[in-house]
Structure 1
Amino acid sequence: MTGESDYSKYDLARLQAELEQEREMKEMLEESVSDLRSTMCELQERLHSVDGEGNEWKTRYETQTELNGQLERQIALVHERLEDLRGNPMDRLASIRSYDDMPVETLRQRLKLLTEEKCDLQTQLMDCHLRTEQEGKAFHKTNDERRAYLSEIAKLSSTLEAQRRQCSTQPQRALDGKLRSSVRHS
């Protein structure tokens, strides 16, 4: 009976005020959780849009692979020519003799053609080098952004989980604590 008399000492208005305060706290926490969820969804969408850029990177990769293949074929052709020249000394002399038999104007044209080919190859090499550097920088920038998004999503997820735990345990603890303190004061 003494337990019932302890509870009867509570003022109904005070209990209603505490209940209203707890409801406000719960509403505030739910709003905070909702905001965190929407922020997390936005970040996940941004992350997926970065992942969606994979098609662009795939295209770049395929283009670069094709360009590398062309360069490798050109290198192989140059190596074959070099081997032909280094190979049989008689063959070397034959090619030299073929140049000896050519008129000077034809040799000049041949030299001009080889010089242009060399310049074209050097230009292609520089273009490939610059493109590789630019794409490398773009890749690292995008990768850093992706990591930042993942980090932010992880932080928000842990904050959201902590608030969920707090929301589920705090109102019960607060109510228990208030009831105990009210019983002691009575």
Structure 2
Amino acid sequence: MVLSLSLLFHDLTRDGGSRIDRQSEEFLSVKELAKKLAISFGLDTVKNREAITALHRDGIIFATNPLENPNNQIGPPPNLAFLEICGEFSNKLLKQDKKVVLQFLDRMLIMGRISPRREWEPILFYRNSLVHGETDPPPHSVRSANRRRRRDTGGDDGEIADNDDGSDHEFAECG
């Protein structure tokens, strides 16, 4: 998915030069496609955990590579606007995975370079998508919700263990 979205994103830079107009119809259509692709992961966040975290990792790598903009040494990385596209998948991350993805983003960027200028907005958008709902209870898989519902209604013996993995998930390639 990241490869397909990054190719579409790259086509935007060919058409409009090196700077992406994040309000253009073309960019918004790529974001809309990302939103539809995110829906295709369904509601079982536990089942898709590894795929979603890998998608975010690859998206961050694409957005921050190269870190220096060859056309503007003090400007943001040339693919930084891709983080807005990755943000469409943030609601599919488990709470603890959002923290890991945020830490990975921080490691990939030199945080001291962030300035309030408009071209750094994709980082702020993406960071907000990762911390949104931080106080909400962690999402559960559909299967776990059905088990709890059966247990609460007396449809089972009430001793079903919830085997959602609550441990922190690390990117295997990040360490």
Larger proportion of helix: 1
TM-score, scaled to structure 1: 0.29
- Higher-Rg member (1/2): 1
RCO comparison, higher one (Cα < 8 Å, 6+)? 1
